């Protein structure tokens, strides 16, 4: 009979591979996250601008300083 030796090999993460993995994740995250962030920023900006314009339109008969304090100074 043959005696089989089973050796368990441990997979350890070496520092070189860890740094490469982190850099790869950073690059992929930057590439994927930039369009998402830009789109979210544009959506928020348009919503805020619409709220400001609507507030200014609703309060156009009030003095400018009062409207600025209520609606903000977008322009």
11, part of any domain = no
12 backbone dihedrals φ, ψ, rounded to 5°: -100, 145
For the stretch 29-56, pLDDT in tens is: 999 999 999 999 999 999 999 999 999 9
Compute the mean pLDDT over every residue in the chain, rounded to the nearest whole number. Answer: 85
Could you give the CA distance from residue 52 to residue 72 in angstroms, rounded to a whole number?
Answer: 7
The answer as to whether 68 is a domain residue is yes
Task: Report the pLDDT value the prediction gives residue 17, as an integer from 0 to 100.
Answer: 82
Whether 35 maps to a domain, the answer reads no
**3-state DSSP assignment of residue 12:** coil
* Structural domain total, the chain: 1
In the numeric block, which tokens belong to residue 24? 């790869």
């Amino acid at each position: 009979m043959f005696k089989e030796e089973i050796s368990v090999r441990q997979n350890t993460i070496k520092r070189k591979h860890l740094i490469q993995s982190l850099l790869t994740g950073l690059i992929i995250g930057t590439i994927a996250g930039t369009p998402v962030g830009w789109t979210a920023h544009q959506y928020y900006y348009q919503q805020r601008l619409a709220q400001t314009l609507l507030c200014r339109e609703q309060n156009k008969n009030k003095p400018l300083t009062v409207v600025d304090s209520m609606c903000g100074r977008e322009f």
